[in-house]
Homo-oligomer: A and B are copies of this chain.
Amino acid sequence: MSIWRRLSLFVLASALCSCPCRAEDSAMENIVTEKKAEESHRQDSADLLVFILLLTLTILTIWLFKHRRFRFLHETGLAMIYGLLVGVVLRYAIHVPSDMNNITLSCNVNASPATLLVNVSGKFYEYTLKGEISGSEVNDIQDNEMLRKVTFDPEVFFNILLPPIIFHAGYSLKRRHFFRNLGSILAYAFVGTVVSCFIIGLLMYGCVMLMKQIGHLGGDFFFTDCLFFGSIVSATDPVTVLAIFNELQVDADLYALLFGESVLNDAVAVVLSSSIIAYQPEGDNTHTFEAMAMLKSFGIFLGVFSGSFALGVATGVVTFTKLRDFPLLETALFFLMSWSTFLLAEACGFTGVVAVLFCGMTQAHYTFNNLSPESQERTKQLFELLNFLAENFIFSYMGLTLFTFKNHVFNPIFIVGAFLAVFLGRAANIYPLSFLLNLGRKHKISPNFQHMMMFAGLRGAMTFALSIRDTATYARQMMFSTTLLVVFFTVWICGGGTTQMLSCQKIRGFLEQSCLMMGFLCVQQIGPDGVERRSTKQESAWFFRIWYNFDHNYLKPLLTHSGPPLTATFPACCGPLARCLTSPQAYEVCTLHAHSGLIILCGTRFSSLFYVDCFIWLVKENFIIVFIGDITLHIKDDKNSM
């Protein structure tokens, strides 16, 4: 039973737990209903407990794997396996007799109202609409209560579990390398996802036509359905691959390309799929091609995407610098702002998930710099925890649902076709685009990087959430079952083979780059010759050079305490205005830039074992290291534990 239905049962329990102050038969009746409600509440708590224990088990096993440096199975893959096991047990081992407490009413109402009042022998009961169910499901509903009990409402994924994951992705985008590769990332995310969607859609349409010919199709399957399938499986989620990249300190540019692409193509896929659903030609045949409807869909795509983008950026930019003395208030406000971005976007008819993504990115770029050090740590940790819990929950639920979902449609031809289409769609995204991008890039995307990106096209939480959102028709059910298999395959096989693939492609990590990426607060590293060794702006295309300059010289100083003081960047004539807009902190940060070969280590977000490697490297390279916080203690711990 969904957690929401569970909660509404709590309500039921309370509503029926009214005082026993009526005539005896009424009182007895009340007691019976009360007992039933209490039992149901207990059952619900027990169900939820199963999920929690599942997560606990996953965490303990992850710890074991991390401790033993076992890299073949990521935590998400593990969560799926545990979910599968529990699903098997629920489906085949536990048999709960149905108590037949559903009653089918036939009424002559001509609508299905949201709230229904039922007059049962003088007493009124209030019912809330849950949704339409197909005729074939009517018996199922009375059939297996147990499996229904562990089924969450699909919208929970979209409105509760996905937002923290997406926000965290935006909030933790490695910004330096992200901006250096912004052009390529945008190309992969926008052009690539659209190309992939249409390639997969066309291939699947061919596949469906074939199935129709040989009579393997049990229901309607239109071209829009195929395109929809293309859009949902175009959302890549290389969480497994990136975790291994992190551990092995793989090339920072490749990391940025993959991570940036996967984050942004989620947003593109969500909006794309909703635009495809919105394709509604007028006239008799609702599935013919019509230019107007097509244009309208395109307009919806542009409108929703840019609206969500603008909204996310706007709320992300809102700065609060005065709350630094009260980290609790600051963190709470930060959390509420991110949540209100989601709600505001949904209330305006935009896509909350997309807005939250851009909100996270903007907050990481501007607001983060204004937070007190304690709040910076707190917000990072909070969203890291939420992301961790939500992600593992989704993946274990994925495993569970393979056995507990009752309307699976596994069609061998469709499945084989889908795997082929997913492969070809990814290839049509990566290789031609890389070729085009390499024409303009100074640092070419090498062939082995391209193969790695091709290989890292895992499907994950977003694909699952989009496919489970609607499983009412035959087409959607077949898509859902196939999507599940695609996710399982890519997470286990591609995820598990990352280490092999990396060594096979001879992609080595650059420890130095990784050190700077892994969350160290690197206060600009200047070599002995006094020349900046690494500069984002010189390596980017002209457009981004302009943007970088504008951002670094004007936006950052204006919106945050970091960056050069405005007095240095504004023209001389605007001196008084610049002085007035520059915060005292900006000058302080500046003085730190003067030291040569200086690394300031702050916080210990990264894996402690990796940390020791990094530290040794830094010492070897004769860096001056300044410790802030309790890092020294951690090093001691690490050495003890080794």
Residue positions of A touching B, CB distance < 8 A: 2, 4-5, 7-21, 24, 27, 31, 33, 38, 40-43, 45-46, 48-49, 52-53, 55-56, 59-60, 62-63, 66-67, 101-121, 123-135, 137-138, 141, 153-156, 158-160, 220, 222, 224-225, 228, 277, 280, 284, 286-287, 322-326, 328-329, 331-333, 335-337, 339-340, 343-344, 346-349, 352, 373-374, 378, 381-382, 384-385, 388-389, 469-470, 472-473, 475-476, 604, 607-609, 628-630, 633, 637-638, 641
Contact = CB atoms under 8 A, between A and B. Distances in A.
B110 A107 contact: no
Nearest to A27: B286
Contacts of A110: 120-121
Contact of A133 (B125, B228, B638): B125
A280 B21 CA distance: 10
A328 B66 CA distance: 12
Given A18-B470, A52-B343, A222-B19, A12 B116 contact: no
A113 B117 contact: no
A448 to B, nearest CB: 32
Nearest to A156: B7
A487 to B, nearest CB: 20
B155 A7 contact: yes
Given A14-B131, A52-B339, 4 more contacts: A2-B11, A56-B336, A105-B119, A324-B637
Contact of A117 (B38, B104, B160): B104
Contacts of A346: 41-42, 45
B111 A116 contact: no
A110 B103 CA distance: 10
* Interface residue SS majority, chain A: helix
9 contacts: A19-B476, A45-B343, A45-B344, A112-B118, A124-B133, A126-B129, A126-B131, A328-B388, A335-B385
Contacts of A344: 45, 49
Given A8-B153, A21-B220, A130-B11, A116 B105 contact: yes
Contacts of A48: 343
A431 to B, nearest CB: 33
A277 B105 contact: no
Contacts of A67: 322, 325
B115 A101 contact: yes
B347 A277 contact: no
Contacts of A33: 112
A104 B135 CA distance: 24
B141 A130 contact: no
Contacts of A641: 325
A116 B127 contact: yes
A528 B10 CA distance: 60
Given A11-B155, A130-B127, A120 B114 contact: no
Ranked nearest first, the 7 interchain pairs of A and B with the lowest CB-CB distance are: A15-B131, A10-B155, A127-B127, A45-B346, A18-B472, A45-B347, A46-B347
A286 B332 contact: no
Contacts of A56: 333, 336-337, 340
A126 B132 CA distance: 6
Contacts of A117: 102-105, 133, 138, 141
A304 to B, nearest CB: 13
Contact of A8 (B4, B125, B220): B4
Contacts of A348: 42
Given A328-B385, A340-B52, A18 B153 contact: no
A109 B116 contact: no
A11 B62 contact: no
Contact of A604 (B21, B120, B374, B607): B374
A414 B87 CA distance: 55
Contacts of A329: 59, 62-63, 66
